[in-house]
Amino acid sequence: MLAATEREARRRPDGSFHVERFQGAATDRGEAMGFDVVLHRQGRSVRVEPGQAIIEALEEAGVTVPSSCREGICGTCETDVLAGVPDHRDTLLSDAERAANTCMFVCVSRSLTERLVLDL
What is the contact surface with ligand FES in residues (CB under 6 A)?
A: 67-70, 72-77, 90, 105, 107
Q: Which is nearer to ligand FES, 8 or 100 (CB)?
A: 100
Q: Which is nearer to ligand FES, 46 or 69 (CB)?
A: 69
Minimum distance of ligand FES from residue 11's CB (angstroms): 27
Q: Which is nearer to ligand FES, 43 or 120 (CB)?
A: 120
Minimum distance of ligand FES from residue 65's CB (angstroms): 8
Q: Which is nearer to ligand FES, 46 or 54 (CB)?
A: 54
Minimum distance of ligand FES from residue 57's CB (angstroms): 14
Question: Which uninterrupted H or E stretch holds 81?
Answer: strand 78-83
In order, the DSSP letters of 11-72 are: TSPTTS-----SSPPP-----S--EEEEETTTTEEEEE-TT--HHHHHHHTT-----SSSSS
What is the four-CA torsion angle of 56, 58, 59, 64, rounded to 10 degrees?
A: -120
Minimum distance of ligand FES from residue 88's CB (angstroms): 11
Contacts of 1 (CB under 8 A, 6+ apart): none
SS3 77: coil
